[in-house]
Structure 1
């Protein structure tokens, strides 16, 4: 990547590889919270010159370090090491200056700061708008304050502090330090930058070392509460550790418990679809970690008919923003509801959460939200065809409202774009999965009439779907039905999500899986979003031929649940190989769909990194390898394990199921395709059911 980004809570910091935020850059670098840039410049100078880069590292996700130098040829150098992290609402940065000249040196070390308080949409040139103004600057000893009065009547302030007393500073944000160093002597100067909203001052008196110790302790707590996985493959271990670490960084609490934001740098906010799918992936890691997602999305559930925001009563939001444009209704993202799949996925996550935990109390807490979501699904048949459809109402909203939300993603085999209202195949699968899964939960809660209704609707919906979406000549499902209820006959990855819902019968599932893993769909690294034989295919497209790890992860869960272990192993092996080509072994949001014969995956030019549901993909590998399906309602745990060719040993410890823990070890055997299974720990009290692979 050509940038460095760190995040903690609701605050993230994006810089160039040197660690600088240049005041005139076009890349949107800066310190952000609540969709506002609170620091638009932080540049380091030695005697008026920028030092050159030696190395730049952000392997720890939450901590970044840059090594720079100011050199005089054949004489020596000043080395500058920048170390930074975020904790408790403050950016901490320590600058270490070391003299590598043979003699004592004296030089001017300067840092230039500024804050423009621009809304993120304006920074990204995604919107323009009527905004506020800088209302004041104040300079005191070791402290600079820049204040802003927003059009939303919110006062914002950036407070910049430093721990060195001998300085010369001005209101324009130039801070100069005269540094004198003996040979090999080091001087350290620490900076503390705190965004403040509405005078809610929370300036910490912690030292750099104390704050870092507290931050790292919080990560250790996260690791201890999570499922531990060790294998004989360094690649697998690295990818799993990366996913666990990045998911911790991407958690944010906006008032209702932690929820994974979509990705950095531009989507560090709660989403509907993205946060729900990521949370679905996180269940084997720590089931308790998804409660905040459900409560947050329930809190923002739609209550009114508002075409400006594509809102309807009962609908789960797509995305929420907290910046000046959203607050003044110049942008519909306050929140925006243009997502057809967030609402059924909200119900799917509740179903799967209960299967892992048996926590019916949370269902009772969210029962009004569940009922309203079901009512919205029943009412959202805009085409009158018996399916959940979408149609853009908001002028500044999204024309396509499934996970492939680009304007050209739903395309007929003729190349024409499908007209809305559109019914997406995978969305009908989510609806079926939600109704089928909620029925026994409602029965357990004494709501027999609702349980019976959901079961009838699930069965009728499945039969209706099979008749409308199946393409007999392709032996595959259409991606969608258009406004005229015609099949959109492109072959895409979307129907692969139906496997997780266990919607297709065995014969059609066999055909579906065969096509998903055929050369026109599987490029050796992953399953493409669109077949190379479809008219809309383009390997460098966002949604029409690229490969998305999360899309593959949804399909992997379905392959596992329906017993296609051989195909799951093939897809997983491809994604594991992919991870080795990207920085820090971090699976990207997406990559291009070119065939693996090229020798390496082709990066997509603009992606989020880290990205939540890509990070969660490695957690899916854990569940798929074990073939793990818990059911707290029946107090059973099904295991149908296998080992991909790249693994000989696999051990997962302290998997949370119900009120207990499960630990399992798999070992490859020479004379069998099935691994040996050792149950190291089972404090769940549930019955273990061993599948065909065990």
Structure 2
């Protein structure tokens, strides 16, 4: 990454690799609720930017930058010998406050004296403006700035009438400070002497200022929160270092991406641009996290229900019962200049909401929490049958109504992502293949939940609707000449015949026959679809293929993870091994073993995965991929309603032992060991702990695995 980002709760900071925010011409800054509270935060020695030695943000909430001075002379006179001073910047966020310690150490043999300067600025820009996505019709203005020798502050009132402010404080008296944010300190250091400058940055909205703690206390509390999280969630170790690093990175990233908007833990989509509630992204991340912490699924469902559509509003692409796509809280959204407060232009958020509700109960047995959500669930089901099926053909399709909305409303939401074999872009209304799978899975998995809640008539209705959808799918979407499914039906009900990864999502839904599941799995790992590092979003033989594109040939880890769930559930274990092997090979090449939002679709003949230039990292559903890899290797399928669970394990090449401890399922925890016999022998599963209240369901061992 060419940036460093840290986050805690609702505040995140993005800087360059030096640790600087270098002005409004860059997207870097300190952000809260879609507003940039710091647009400049630069450090200099004698007016010169320090030389970077190293930087890291591998812990997500702490970033460190080690720098030194360049050689400095003036009019032939030496000011500061090169590499005399070490500058160590350590920063973290806690309680919506940014803390930074700047340590200065003299490593020369002589006393040194220099000017340490800070440049601070706050433009209070809306995230949409920073990214250049939406112009503004009207903006607010800065009300004033104040400076003293111990602090600087600025205040802004937006076009939405909301006041915002930022306050920067330091603990050493400055030599000078002005309202333009130019701060200067005089530093004198004897040989081997160190001095430290402590800074805090506090953003506030409508006068609600966060509590500023003593830095040591804040850091200690932050570390304790991280330790509590790690002790709470599932532990997994193997004899493969890459998997171990990938899993630990996923766990860390998912923690930092959790926020609480008043309904429980909720995964925001990703950093830096999507640290906000998303429909599809957050729902999929919560689904991926069931083996880690099922309470996150419940918090996500409650948040979505609270923002469920209530009216027909074309500006927001909203209809009654529809689940939101994206909730923004910046100036443009609050003043109505963009429709994101929230925006509902997503065709898959509503079925994914229902799907997650069903899977949560099957995982935990907690039907009472879902019973409390039944009004929202019923409204979402009504939306699928009404507004979701615009032409009454039994398939759910999308159509953009908002002038500032999104045209393609599936997870591949770029304008060129749904393309015919002849290169034409599909025209809406568009019925995406994977969305039909989500609807089927939601209805078929909700049916026994509703039956458990005494709603047998509704359960029978859902089963009948799911069966009808299953029967209709093949005749509408199956491409006989490709032995594969079309990505979509367009507005003329014509198949969009590009070969893509989308049909792979059907594998987890249960909608496919065993033969069709086999054919889909085989195509997904064929050379045109599998790059060596993961499944491409589009076949390399397709007209629209572009390995550098966002959705037409790139590799998305979360896409692979949903396919992987399906491969595991349908018993396509050789394909599952291939996908896991590719993802592990990818992770080994990325910084911190972190899978990014996406990467380019070039084949492994290059020798490494090629980064996509503006991929978000960390990204929630990319981080959640590591948890899905774990679940898939276990072959874990709980059925808490029936009091059972299945284990159908596999291990990819390079892993011979996997130990999973304290995995939350049912009413308790499950621990298990997965072993491969010597010389490529069978894979065995051994339960080490089971307080879940569920019993292991006996299953006939496949040739590649045995049971004990």
Q: Does the TM-score normalized on the shorter chain lie above 0.5? A: yes
Partner Cα separation in structure 1 for residue 23 and residue 264 of structure 2: 35
Q: Which residue of 2 aligns with 1:8?
A: 8
The answer to whether the Cα contact below 8 Å between 1:70 and 1:78 also exists between their aligned partners in 2 is yes
How much does 1:163 deviate?
A: 1.2
Equivalent residues of 1:92, 1:192 under 8 A apart: yes
Contact 1:412–1:490 under 8 Å retained in 2? yes
* Structure 2 partner of 1:407: 415
Distance 1:143 1:593 in 2: 49
| Residue pair 1:383, 1:483 contacting (<8 A) in 2 also | no
Equivalent runs, 1:63-212 vs 2, <5 Å: 63-72=62-71, 76-129=83-136, 130-140=138-148, 142-204=150-212, 206-212=213-219
Q: 8 Å contact 1:5–1:264 — kept in the other structure?
A: yes
- Please report how far the alpha carbon of residue 685 of structure 1 lies from its aligned counterpart in structure 2 after TM superposition: 2.2
Residue deviations 1:487-519 (CA, integer Å, cap 9, x gap): 111111000000000111011111111111111
Determine which of 235, 243, 251 is the counterpart of 1:236: 243
Shift of 1:183: 0.4
Instruction: Report the counterpart of residue 477 of structure 2 in structure 1.
Output: 469
Task: State how far apart, in whole Å, the 2-side matches of 1:550 and 1:166 are.
Answer: 49
Tell me the residue number matched to 1:38: 37
Whether the 8 Å contact between 2:639 and 2:645 is mirrored in structure 1 is yes
- How far did residue 684 of structure 1 move? 1.4
Q: How many residues are treated as equivalent by the alignment? A: 692
Matched with 2:310 is 303
| Match 2:552 to one of 534, 544, 558 | 544
Kindly report which structure 2 residues correspond to 1:247-326, keeping only aligned pairs within 5 A, or say none.
Answer: 247-326=254-333
Change (3 A) 1:99 1:358: same
After TM superposition, the structure 1 stretch with the greater mean CA deviation from structure 2, 379-388 or 581-590, is 379-388
| 1:391 positional shift | 0.4
Instruction: Please state how far the C-alpha of 1:677 moved relative to its aligned partner.
Output: 2.1
SS of equivalent to 1:79: strand
Report what 1:488 is aligned to: 496
Q: Distance in 1 between matches of 2:248 and 2:311?
A: 43
Query: Distance in 1 between the 2:681 and 2:490 partners?
Result: 45
Shift of 1:576: 0.3
Which of 667, 679, 690 aligns to 2:675? It is 667
Partner of 1:52: 51
Inter-partner Cα distance in structure 2 for 1:496 and 1:237: 27
Partner of residue 225 from structure 2, selected from 218, 221, 240: 218
2:75 aligns with none
> Deviation per CA, 1:505-543, whole angstroms, max 9, x where unpaired?
011111111111111111111111111121111111111
Check the 8 A contact 2:265/2:295 in 1, yes or no: no
In the alignment, is the contact (CA less than 8 A) between 2:69 and 2:82 conserved in 1?
no
Q: For residue 473 of structure 1, report the CA deviation from its aligned partner.
A: 1.4
Separation (CA, whole Å) in 2 of partners of 1:158 and 1:672:
61
Q: Which whole-Å CA distance do the structure 1 matches of 2:681 and 2:454 have between them? A: 45
Cα gap change, 1:497/1:76 in structure 2, threshold over 3 Å: closer, same or farther? closer
| CA displacement at 1:689 relative to structure 2 | 1.9
Deviation, 1:672, is: 6.0
Question: What is residue 78 of structure 2 aligned with on the other side?
Answer: none
> In the alignment, which residue of structure 2 is the partner of 1:521?
529
Please report how far the alpha carbon of residue 407 of structure 1 lies from its aligned counterpart in structure 2 after TM superposition: 0.7
C-alpha separation in 2, matches of 1:232 and 1:178: 53
**Contact 1:539/1:546 (8 A) holds in 2:** yes
TM-superposed CA distance for 1:141, in Å, is 5.2
Aligned to 1:18: 18
Of stretches 105-114 and 368-377 in structure 1, the one that deviates more from structure 2 is 105-114
Query: Contact 2:21 / 2:42 at 8 angstroms: preserved in 1?
Result: yes
Superposed displacement of residue 208, structure 1:
1.9
State the secondary structure of the residue aligned to 2:84. strand
Are 2:681 and 1:682 aligned?
no
Is the Cα contact below 8 Å between 2:47 and 2:117 reproduced in 1?
yes
**Is 2:539–2:545's contact at 8 Å kept on the other side of the alignment?**
yes
Alpha-carbon distance in 2 for matches of 1:256, 1:170: 43
- Distance in 2 (alpha carbons) for counterparts of 1:639 and 1:115: 54
Query: Aligned equivalents of 1:244 and 1:538: distance in 2?
Result: 32
Pairwise mapping of residues 290-439 of structure 1 onto structure 2 (< 5 A)? 290-379=297-386, 380-439=388-447
Structure 1, 642-651 or 168-177: larger mean CA deviation: 168-177
Q: Is the 8 A contact 1:242 1:615 kept in 2?
A: yes
Q: How far does residue 203 in structure 1 lie from its aligned partner after superposition?
A: 3.3
Q: Residues 99 and 183 of structure 1 are in contact (CA less than 8 Å); yes or no, is this contact kept in structure 2? A: yes
Q: Give the C-alpha shift of residue 690 in structure 1.
A: 4.4
Moved more, 457-466 or 597-606: 597-606
Mapped to 1, the partners of 2:634 and 2:659 lie a distance apart of 10
CA contact (8 A) 1:76 1:102 kept: no
1:191: Cα distance to partner?
0.5
Runs of 4+ more than 6 Å apart? none
What is the Cα deviation at residue 167 of structure 1?
A: 3.9
Q: Is the 8 A contact 1:71 1:78 kept in 2?
A: no
Cα deviation 1:175-215 (Å, max 9, x = unaligned): 221111110111011110010000112231x2222211111
- Partners of 1:382 and 1:317 lie apart in 2 by 18
Mapped to 1, the partners of 2:482 and 2:462 lie a distance apart of 31
Deviations 1:438-461 (A, max 9, x none): 100111101111011001000011
**Matched position secondary structure for 1:276:** helix
Q: Distance in 1 between matches of 2:257 and 2:482?
A: 40
- Separation of aligned partners in 1, 2:442 and 2:368: 18
- Per the TM alignment, residue 108 of structure 1 is displaced from its structure 2 partner at its CA by 1.4
Name structure 1 gaps, 5 residues minimum: none
Structure 2: distance between partners of 1:419 and 1:689 = 47
- Deviation, structure 1 residue 274: 0.3
Q: Is the 8 A contact 1:385 1:485 kept in 2?
A: no
CA-CA distance at 1:350 after TM superposition: 0.6
Alpha-carbon distance in 1 for matches of 2:302, 2:570:
30
| Equivalent residue number for residue 596 of structure 1 | 604
Farther-moved stretch of structure 1 (47-56 vs 550-559): 47-56
